[in-house]
């Protein structure tokens, strides 16, 4: 059974999707394109939340700092891969720029950590970067609170035990 939001909550948008995106979504006459986009977006959010890595606040800050303004939009995967898969290289390159000293982080070790993450975790990190720089509280909230609101999982938030 499909539950649609009340008309007052639903917003109407014009969306331009390339053929590969439409193919990836698949056709579903029962819920239509709008319903399918909603379904995929909600699942994507849940998948990223599930795959979110745990980093220190300093590691998050270094990553967010380095990736500010980096093109991370996946508009066509045609053998080149998704740009989030190469974000670690920007972190590694920042070793020469003093990023490690600025955030008290071993950026080469951080780059290795990011490179070795599963794709979903790499995408989750880059989603936090995007949310961080677009967050309406960017200049008002404490950094740790902003990171949490953006979905970042911090070391001190990690569950204890195993």
Reported as a single tens digit per residue, the pLDDT across 93-126 is 999 999 999 999 999 999 999 999 999 999 999 9
CB half-sphere exposure, 31, CA atoms < 13 A: 16
DSSP letter at 122 equals H
Cα angle 144-93-111, degrees, rounded to a multiple of 5: 55
Q: What does each of the 162 residues of the chain score in pLDDT, given as a tens digit?
A: 566 656 667 888 888 888 888 888 888 888 888 899 999 999 999 999 999 999 999 999 999 999 998 777 776 666 567 788 889 999 999 999 999 999 999 999 999 999 999 999 999 999 999 999 999 999 999 999 999 999 999 998 655 554
With CA atoms as reference, report the closest residue to 85 among 125, 45, 47, 44: 125
Indicate the pTM of the whole model.
0.83
What's the confidence (pLDDT) of residue 51?
A: 96
In Å, what is the CA distance from 102 to each residue of 55, 58, 86, 96? 17, 9, 22, 12
What's the confidence (pLDDT) of residue 80?
A: 63
């Amino acid at each position: 059974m499909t539950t649609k939001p009340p008309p007052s909550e639903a917003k109407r948008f014009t969306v331009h999707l390339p053929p590969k995106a439409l193919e990836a979504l698949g056709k579903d006459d029962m819920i239509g394109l709008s319903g399918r986009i909603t379904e995929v977006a909600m699942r994507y959010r849940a998948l990223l939340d599930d795959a979110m890595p745990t980093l220190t606040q300093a590691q998050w800050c270094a990553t967010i700092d380095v990736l500010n303004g980096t093109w991370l939009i996946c508009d066509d995967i045609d053998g080149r891969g998704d740009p989030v898969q190469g974000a670690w290289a920007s972190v590694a390159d920042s070793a020469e720029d003093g990023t490690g000293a600025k955030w008290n982080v071993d950026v080469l070790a951080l780059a290795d950590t990011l490179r070795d993450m599963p794709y979903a975790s790499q995408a989750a990190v880059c989603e936090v970067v995007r949310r961080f720089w677009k967050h309406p509280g960017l200049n008002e909230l404490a950094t740790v609170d902003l990171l949490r609101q953006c979905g970042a999982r911090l070391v001190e938030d990690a569950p204890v035990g195993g």
